[in-house]
A = this chain, B = another copy of it.
Amino acid sequence: MPSVRTPDPNPGWLSEFELEETRGRVPILYVEAIPVRLDSLGQVEQVGLLLRGSATTGTMARSFVSGRVLHGEPIRTALMRNLEKDLGPTAFPQLPADIVPFTVAEYFPLPGVTPLHDARQHAVALAYVVAVTGECDPRQDALELSWLTPREALAHAVLDELEGGRGVLLQQAMAHVGALA
């Protein structure tokens, strides 16, 4: 399609207009990752939650590592790219050997279809729990990363602060890793 243009340094990236148009046509594929610290037996000791300015409300909100899968980009690459984007280059995420997500999260523009919503789009996110072993240094739009115990993370006050209804997703993740109680 392109012709005499300089090769796109970021293939897969879209202009604002193209992204907006595409969001009106198809569900947009995302990956989401909940960073965790594990003890030597693999049990979750801490959950990492990002605090960032919400695009939708203009207020602060907690969130997970999250981003689009770009055109031509393998899921593992998308996961790693977004983990590095949100946690910095020294987080050393350990991607799991299998890419089956713990759940598939469906976000609809209209609130109420599912517990999850995203005013911008119909998004479908493959959701993972990812162990990180290094130092996290959030950058870009994330202001802060907080490490909470599973019990702290599951407190109603924290669940309610999660953007787009992701409190339910966090509960699903903690249930999956046996860290509910």
For chain A, the count of residues having a C-beta within 8 Å of the partner chain is 59
1/0 per residue, CB under 8 A from B, across A112-149: the answer is 01110000001010100101000000000000000000
Q: Could you tell me if B99 and A104 are in contact, using CB atoms closer than 8 angstroms?
A: yes
Interface residues of A (CB under 8 A from B): 1, 14, 18, 22, 24-29, 36, 38, 40-44, 68-77, 80, 94-104, 106, 108, 113-115, 122, 124, 126, 129, 131, 165, 168, 171-172, 175-178, 180-181
Closest partner residue, chain B, to A44 (CB atom)? B97
Report the Cα distance A40→B81, complex, angstroms: 12
Cβ of A72: which chain B residues have Cβ within 8 Å of it? 27, 108, 122
